[in-house]
Amino acid sequence: MTKTADQRRGEERILYDAFMAACPTRQVFATIGDKWAGLVVNALADGPRRHGELRTRIAGASQKMLTQTLRTLERDGLVTRTVTPSVPVRVDYELTPLGHTLVPILAALKGWAESNIGDILQSREDYDAKVVAA
């Protein structure tokens, strides 16, 4: 009976896993909270884009990450992928209706971020200054 605490942790962890598996928010967060997904959705917000266009618009994303992100979004039904089998293949990505409903949410988040980034940066400076002093 000495490991009661540890055992409890283990049980909590199992409960947590079950809870998480059923938690919609986290599952969704796993996709759209992704490093690139938000940028991609924004880049697609005002119309379809070709793969190459996205690479340009989201300069900095490696081709690997871009493809990977697009696959995830496609899997979740947020974007469609349309292949036109011409001579150099052409692939277009476009937001689905569901994907479009996400845009305002992201916009709200973006708005909040832009409104409060000043305070946050200031807070970080203060905090870091205090830590150095301590």
Partner DNA sequence: CAGGATCCCATTCGATACTG
Partner DNA sequence: CAGTATCGAATGGGATCCTG
Residues binding DNA (CB under 7 A): 6, 9, 13, 34-35, 50-52, 55, 60-65, 67, 70-71, 81, 83, 88-91
Partner that binds at residue 41, options DNA, a copy of itself, none, CB closer than 5 to 8 Å by kind: none
> 77: closest CA among 101, 51, 47, 105?
101
Instruction: Supply angle C-alpha 20, 26, 27, rounded to 5.
Output: 90
Footprint of a copy of itself (CB under 8 A): 12-13, 15-17, 19-20, 24-25, 27-29, 31, 33, 38, 59-60, 74-78, 98, 101-102, 105, 108-110, 112-114, 116-117, 119-124, 127-128
Q: Say if CB 66 and CB 55 are below 8 A apart.
A: yes
Tokens of 39: 């940028």
